Amino acid sequence: MKFFLDTAEIKEIRELAASGLVDGITTNPSLVMKSGRQFVDVVREICEIIPGPVSAEVISTEHETMLAEGRKLAKIAGNVVVKVPLTPDGLKTCYKLSQEGTKVNVTLCFSAAQALLAAKSGATYISPFVGRLDDIGTDGMQLIRDIVQIYRAYDNLKTEVLVASVRHPIHVIEAAKMGAHVATLPPSVLKQMFNHPLTDKGLAAFLADWAKTGQKIL
């Protein structure tokens, strides 16, 4: 499974990229707003740090303007993935951009039917939002299970399942068990995945025993 970071914070991206765990980045207007910087500048800098896919979202809701925005975003760097919403105009834009060779991430997916439409429109990634479904009392992970099953049934569907709105490590593990291709995580969730009380306890015991030897490696 590939891990993308869901953030526009440059400091966090640099920190976690140094671990070798980050395969790509997803951004959206809300995340860029929190950074307090110009959108294009943020995307360009992220693309310089991360060689993998960097999703940058269009703002328009109408096809022609969405297409123009997508083409402009794609020119920022070779690893930009244009992010469009799962609407009729968004899928029309997805199809056109995909035909032009631009990778597209279709976002705000909440049903398997929507995911099937996105795949037929040529989406590189589909982003189902599991956490938001959980918030309204629906099983978000069931959606991932359904999409993976549908995509696997057809060799001509090449769209990757990018699990979004991830709230905790259990979402990540369950998605990985189902065979989802990518999970995009807030930095806080990725950091939570390091933690286990037995790791902390074991390390403390090893260090205590080592201190008793009075030795040094360096």
Secondary structure of residue 184 in the 3-state scheme: strand
Which H helix or E strand runs over 148? Answer: helix 140-152
Active site residue 83: yes
**Is the Cβ–Cβ distance between 86 and 109 less than 8 Å?**
yes
CA-based torsion, 178, 184, 189, 190: positive or negative: positive
Residues 6+ apart with CB under 8 A from 132: 110, 140, 165
Closest CA to 100 of 82, 76, 127, 119: 82
- Residue 109 has a CB neighbour count (10 Å cut-off) of 24
* Catalytic one of 34, 72, 75, 83: 83
Burial class (CB in 10 A: 0-12, 13-18, 19+), 216: exposed
> Vertex 174, ends 172 and 178: CA angle to 5°?
115
> Vertex 118, ends 171 and 47: CA angle to 5°?
70
Would you please indicate which residues are annotated as catalytic (active-site) residues? 83
